[in-house]
Amino acid sequence: MTLLKKHGNFQKDTPAERNIRFGVREHAMGAIANGIQLHLTGLIPYVATFFIFSDYMRNAIRISALGETGVIQVMTHDSIGLGEDGPLTSLLSTWRLSAPCPTC
């Protein structure tokens, strides 16, 4: 997870903090970021996940692109040489499917 190191986790008891932990919920993460951008002016949300898991948030990415929301989407670990999982986290099909995205 990408953290803002000077800030804590946004929770019921700490609503002024800025980090939201989603766990393994890529679609929810993308959809919530779109909602934050569209309904709370002045905020620029960003989300980060492994590139291979972007398949799970494909619809949220599509809505973000079509709506020109301005959500910053960071996809990491896109090489077979990264991490202990090697090629499991880098499929060529993911690259081909992401190509038609209008703002990617």
Count of the separate structural domains present in the chain: 1
H/E element, 49: strand 46-50
H/E element, 46: strand 46-50
Can you tell me the distance from the alpha carbon of 64 to that of 52, in angstroms, rounded to the nearest whole number?
A: 18
Residue ranges making up the domain that contains 57:
26-98
Domain assignment present for residue 1? The answer is no
Mean pLDDT of 88-94: 56
- Among 17, 26, 68, 84, which one carries the catalytic annotation? 26
Percentage with pLDDT > 90 across the chain:
4
- In terms of phi and psi (left: phi > 0; alpha: psi -120 to 50; beta: otherwise), the region of 90 is beta
Domain assignment present for residue 46? The answer is yes
At 21-79, the pLDDT tens digits run 887 889 899 998 999 898 876 788 888 888 878 888 888 988 888 888 889 888 877 66
pTM of the model as a whole: 0.69
- The closest alpha carbon to 36, from 5, 10, 12, belongs to 10
Can you tell me the distance from the alpha carbon of 3 to that of 9, in angstroms, rounded to the nearest whole number?
A: 9
At 23-34, the pLDDT tens digits run 788 989 999 899
Residue 26 among the catalytic residues = yes
Domain assignment present for residue 17? The answer is no
